[in-house]
Amino acid sequence: MNRSQTGASSQELLARYQAAFMPNYGVPPVALVAGQGCLAWDADGRQYLDFIAGIAVSSLGHAHEALAEAVGEQVHSIVHTSNLFINEQEVLLAEELRRLLGGQGRVFLSNSGTEANECALKLAIKYGKSRGRGRGGRGYFVAAENGFHGRSMGALSLTGKQSIREPFGPFALDVRFVPYGDAQALAEAVTGECAAVFLEPTLGEGGVVPPPDGYLAAARQICDDTGALFVMDEIQSAIGRTGTWFAHQHDGVRPDILTLAKGLGGGLPIGACVGFGPAGELFAKGDHGSTFGGNPVACAAALAVLHTIEKEGLLGNAAEVGALLKDGLAALGHPLLAGVRGRGLWLGVVLAEPVAARVEAAARDAGFLVNAVQPNVIRLAPPLVVTAGQAGALVDAFPSILDAAKEG
């Protein structure tokens, strides 16, 4: 369980990684080779409690039997069909997503969150070209400063994080960025010439930043008043991460287009774009496609994830353990701890100094995997199966982790 298949040490694997891969990720500090639930082991046999879950992906944790059985059974049946043929797993998954969304929506299945957002963008472009007060239709888009929607050129054009945008601009699309959470700024930016508004229900890569109360409802109303589509990017936040199936359900709003990925496949690559009402019928035959989208193995995995979340009561677990984790950390009173924000098992630990990278390293040394998502924010997104005891272990260890980070 806790050794690499070839017997290579962590140091050996890191050196081979550096020689074989492009340098866009740098060299990750740990070579993980096995996992069970919320535990993971590196190539040297060291054990960690995983509070990253592959960036909010491993909903059921590592090596969950239901996921393994579903994938194995499907591999022994049929692995791939392409979009030229129907496979039953994709139909079942689309129907299940519609059920969880109140029996509404039309689904497109992709391989990732970025691709789900590309689908949403193409829908919005087609909508914009066919409608609008001006002769040219609706020609621009609105998104949030510090928002994140992906790294392909279309999704990147909607991403408000300047450090990753600037090296690849200029972009073909007219996207206007507004401060996240500022309803007045959003209202001023969205006119009858706007095709769509793209928002996250909470900024994920921006540091797990929730909006003010009423912001998403205000965004919904602004789009209704102007005729712009409201696109909700729930790549990170959906599939139970905040204690409900979809984070927008906390606010009682429904977008015109919803994008999903990450936790949906429990570790296998899959994404989904769901269009509601007219937005679900914008595409004509040939407008969009994906060779691997709707892959039966990935869909079988996603179905296992959804069914297991229901069977094991993991929505409630995310809410309950998330509250224990948030309250426990907030009560520590450490001088380096400025606060904790977020909901469920999607939390941002805000630091009083920009030392998140040092906190991440100190946590790793203490046997916990966490993520420095911003210079002053640690992101926590453990598997939905995390226990109260495991959350308590991190809370208990956190003061010494912060002490170690402060000492440098």
**285 tagged catalytic:** no
Q: Identify the active-site residue in 51, 141, 262, 276.
A: 262
**339 labeled part of a ligand binding site:** no
Helix (H) / strand (E) element for 217: namely helix 215-226
Catalytic residue among 51, 148, 276, 398: 148
Determine whether the annotation assigns residue 151 to a binding site.
yes
Active-site position among 230, 233, 256, 398:
233
**52 CB-contact burial (10 Å; exposed 0-12 / middle 13-18 / buried 19+):** buried
Contacts of 36 (CB under 8 A, 6+ apart): 1, 61, 62, 63
Q: Which amino acid is at 136?
A: G
The answer to whether 18 is a known ligand-binding residue is no
Annotated binding residue 222: no
Q: Tell me whether residue 374 is annotated as binding.
A: no
Q: What are phi and psi of 160, to 5 degrees?
A: -95, 15
Quick check: helix, strand or coil at residue 61?
coil
* 148 annotated ligand-binding residue: yes
Confirm whether 213 is a catalytic residue.
no
* 50 annotated as a binding-site residue: no
Q: Is 113 annotated as a binding residue?
A: yes
Phi-psi group of 294: left, alpha or beta (phi > 0 → left; psi -120 to 50 → alpha; rest → beta):
left
Q: Are 303 and 264 in contact (CB under 8 A)?
A: no
Q: Which residue has the tokens 């043929």?
A: 85
Alpha carbon distances (Å) from 27 to 14, 23, 55, 154, 278: 7, 7, 17, 27, 46
Quote the DSSP letter at residue 353. Answer: S
Furthest C-alpha separation in the chain = 65
Q: From the CA atom positions of the chain, what is the Rg in Å?
A: 21
Please say if 182 is a catalytic residue: no
Q: And the tokens for 192?
A: 């009858």
**236 marked as part of a ligand binding site:** yes
Contact between 348 and 387 (Cβ < 8 Å): no
Please indicate if the annotation marks 235 as binding a ligand. Answer: yes
Q: Which residues are annotated as a binding site?
A: 113-114, 148, 151, 233-236, 290-291
Q: Which residues are annotated as a binding site for N(2)-acetyl-L-ornithine?
A: 151, 290
Q: Which residues are annotated as a binding site for pyridoxal 5'-phosphate?
A: 113-114, 148, 233-236, 291
Which residues are annotated as catalytic? 148, 233, 262
